[in-house]
Amino acid sequence: MTVRRLLVLGQSGQLATALARLADPSIWDVARINRTIADFSDPRQALSALRQQPDFDVAINAVACNDVDGAETDEREAQAVNGETPGLLAEYCAATGRPFLHVSTDFVFPGRAGGGYVETDAPQPPNAYGRSKLAGEHGVLDAGKQHAVFRTAWVYSADHRNFVTAMLGLVGKHERVRVVADQIGNPTFADDLALALLEAARLLDLREAKGGLYHLAGTGQTSRAALAERIFELAAPLLGNCPAVEPITSDAWPAPAARPTDASLRSDRFARTFSHQMPDWETSLPSVVTAWCRNALSARAKP
Exactly one of 117, 129, 156, 214 is catalytic; name it: 129
133: Cβ contacts below 8 Å, ≥ 6 apart: 64, 82, 83, 104, 105, 107, 108, 125
Amino acid, single-letter form, for residue 256: P
Please state, in angstroms and rounded to a whole number, the distance separating the CA atoms of residues 61 and 59: 6
Q: Phi and psi for 33 in degrees, rounded to 5?
A: -115, 120
Please state, in angstroms and rounded to a whole number, the distance separating the CA atoms of residues 15 and 34: 13
Name the strand (E) or helix (H) holding 83: none
- Answer yes or no: 129 catalytic: yes
147: Cβ contacts below 8 Å, ≥ 6 apart: 90, 93, 94, 99, 100, 101, 102, 140, 141, 211
Task: Measure the CA dihedral 25/27/31/35, to 10°.
Answer: -100
Nearest C-alpha neighbor of 129 from the set 81, 197, 180: 81
Where does residue 60 rank: exposed (0-12), middle (13-18), buried (19+ CB within 10 A)? buried
Strands 184-185 and 222-223: antiparallel
β-sheet bridge partners, residue 189: 156
Q: Which residues are catalytic?
A: 129
